[in-house]
Structure 1
Amino acid sequence: METEKKYSAVSGFLMVFVVFAIIALGVLGLAIVKNPVLAILFVVGIICIPGFTVVNPNESMVLVLFGAYKGTILKNGFFWVNPLFVKKKISLRARNLDSDPIKVNDKIGNPIMIGVVLVWRVKDTFKAAFDVNDYEHFVNIQSEAAIRNMAGSYPYDNFEDEGAEITLRSGGDDVSELLESELTDRLTIAGIEIMEARINYLAYASEIAGAMLRRQQATAVVAARFKIVEGAVSMVDMALEELTEKNIVDLDEDKKATMVSNLMVVLCSDKDATPVLNTGSLYQ
């Protein structure tokens, strides 16, 4: 399988003098010597002019002669090559792809909207020029395919799949690495190097966004209540131990139950409790 190979081109500055010297000899031959043979030099000089080319920094020039790949100029500068070469410039600069959010189904089947930002560049000019029809369009299509495949492999979060170690929402660097690996496998055929790939947009689709928001709110409320009850039980237990150790008051089981009930109501209520003063005995 053929791959990229460097082409050493002749300096364009040197060939400027050579070509113009050939053209000048041809003109002088016709004008002064009147020798038609020297007119060939003039024609040769004119034919050589299309061979001049400029390669800018972080650009390359792919050269083809009669359908045969001859090499790629990777150095920047002013060069001269065979004027019969077909020249194709390919940029080696890093490029951004900010994909529009697309609707996909996650691993559980929930419709979500996901978009990525991708940094890529051409690494192999031969593959980019000849192994795919249009490498820029190829990157766009394969990037969308990679997003769909990755999104279908992991859940949005672990609400329904509590055993999921990696989720799209909290995966972070792990998800980015998996996305980069998926894109690299797909784009290697086009000679593309993936420099970075990250999710830049992630949300539930509009048809379930409201329901999922309420679910997240309910989960947050339950988690908060769990912490409140856990703390209240600890405080009640501590209060009973302190009262018993210091012999402040001797409570039977019924009064302990009443005290626990009252403390739990005060500590766990989401509103301020209204105290009631007992002016009678403890058993009234």
Structure 2
Amino acid sequence: MTTTSTTPTPEPEGPGRAARLIRNESTTEIPVHLLFRDQPDPEPVPLAPAVVGSRQGTGEQPRVRRPAAAARRSPQVDPDLAERPAGVLPGAAGVLAGVCGAAGCAAATWWAGLLPPLAAQALRLPVPAGAGLGPAQWAAYAGAGAVGLFGFGGLARGRTGRAWVLGLFGRYRGTVRRTGLLWVNPLLLRRRVDVRLRHWRSEPMPAADASGVGLRVVVLVAWRVRDTARAVLGVEDHETYLRECVEAALARVPVEPVGAGRASTDAAAEALTRMVVADTAPIGLEVFSVRPVRVEYAPEVAAVMQRRRVAALDARHRASVLTSVVDSVEDTVTRLTVRGLVDLDDYERKALVKDLTVAFCSGRGEQAP
């Protein structure tokens, strides 16, 4: 029996070496992994869902698509800064404290013997034995005066549509929206805020139409302060901030000039309102509408655009006149031919059309203002 000798082939080293093979005299090349088909296949490795395919034939590895950053980020204000009601007392409490302080001062004056004799006789008060200003009298004066000043100094009048933002040593202490006579801690810093519905008519602001032609736009903004804490403390001046937001929105939204149509004006107003609402909501402003009320061309292009508009109107008028003349000539020639009033050949028809066109055009030109 002849045995077949098997000689293993040396494996080349290096990163580009071929697959491991077993070579002999009577068999072909057998890959090593075919000898272990009974083993279970390894579990598939999960891949990321967002993958951009590589280019064919370049050997480039797939690239993972990273999420794009947000195009615009809304302004952020301190999330802990939000309007909350402040602790106040009815005005009667302040009046009572002030009266008590005044009465205490009068009693300290009588105790020190400084009350005029006529007043003492009128009130039938006896003269105290130890008259004079001593430490006890000064303490009584200080206490009664502090109570009186604290009582009368904290009186305030709340009005409808107005609010106070209170602060103590730079810290927000609450908002007062109540009306009538109130007592507010006199140590608190008060900032008055108008919370009524307000209409602001801007001055002419720069803008552009869809073609990039410069415009001057006057807008009417309906707005109010919704969160007094953020409007007063979250930004330096909320009215100036609102104006800047409107101007920035006009720079991004194309506005059509007068005569472009109501649909385009409404679309521009809606886009302006949406942008301004998104920019002013973090500082506590509630914007209801931003509507252009006057649109005109910028001074540097006003003359050119006026001439272009006049030329367009003139061309439109000429086109309408020509259409009317052609229709009139056609109707006249058709009626003459159909009724048998004239029998025209081709040359005569052309001459008649020419004469009628000149006559109708002359008549329309005399009727034009």
CA contact (8 A) 2:97 2:150 kept: no
Given candidates 315, 325, 328, the residue that maps to 1:222 is 315
Residue 75 of structure 1 deviates from its aligned partner by 1.9
Q: How far 1:43 moved relative to its partner?
A: 2.4
1:260 matched to 2:339? The reply is: no
- Where do residues 96-245 of structure 1 align in structure 2 (5 Å cutoff)? 96-150=199-253, 153-156=254-257, 171-245=264-338
TM-superposed deviation, 1:156: 4.1
In 1, the alpha carbon distance for the partners of 2:109 and 2:183 equals 27
Gaps spanning 5+ residues in structure 1: where?
159-166, 273-284
Determine if the alignment matches structure 1 residue 47 to structure 2 residue 131.
no
Residue pair 1:49, 1:83 contacting (<8 A) in 2 also? no
Q: 1:230 to 1:88 in 2, by over 3 A?
A: same
Which amino acid in 2 is paired with 1:121? R
Taking the aligned partners of 2:160 and 2:258, their CA distance within structure 1 comes to 45
Task: Output the TM-score relative to the length of structure 1.
Answer: 0.79
Choose 1 or 2 for highest CA Rg: 2
Q: Which has the higher helix share?
A: 1
In 1, Cα distance between equivalents of 2:351 and 2:206: 56
The root-mean-square deviation of aligned C-alpha atoms, in Å, is: 2.8
Q: Do 2:245 and 2:280's aligned partners in 1 also have CA atoms closer than 8 Å?
A: yes
Count of equivalent residues: 262
1:60 & 1:271 partners in 2: Cα distance? 68
Deviation at 1:125, TM superposition (A): 0.5
TM-score (ref. length: structure 2): 0.63
Letter in 2 for 1:109: G
Q: From the superposition, tell whether residues 246 and 184 of structure 1 become closer, same or farther in structure 2 (CA, over 3 Å).
A: same
In 2: Cα distance, 1:174 partner to 1:107 partner: 13
Structure 1 position 19 matched with structure 2 position 98: yes
Find the counterpart in structure 2 of residue 4 from structure 1. Answer: 83
Code of the residue aligned with 1:205 in structure 2: it is A
CA distance in 2, matches of 1:188, 1:257: 72
Identity of aligned residues (%): 26
Task: Specify the SS of the correspondent of 2:264.
Answer: coil
1:22-58 residue CA offsets vs partner (Å, 9 max, x unmatched): 4413541563388556442442332343222222221
Q: Which has the higher contact order (CA 8 A, sep 6+)?
A: 1
SS at match of 1:132: coil
Deviations 1:208-260 (A, max 9, x none): 22222221112112211222222222222222222222111111122112211
Runs of at least 5 residues in structure 2 that lack an aligned partner in the other structure: 1-78, 112-127, 131-135
SS of structure 1 residue aligned to 2:84? coil
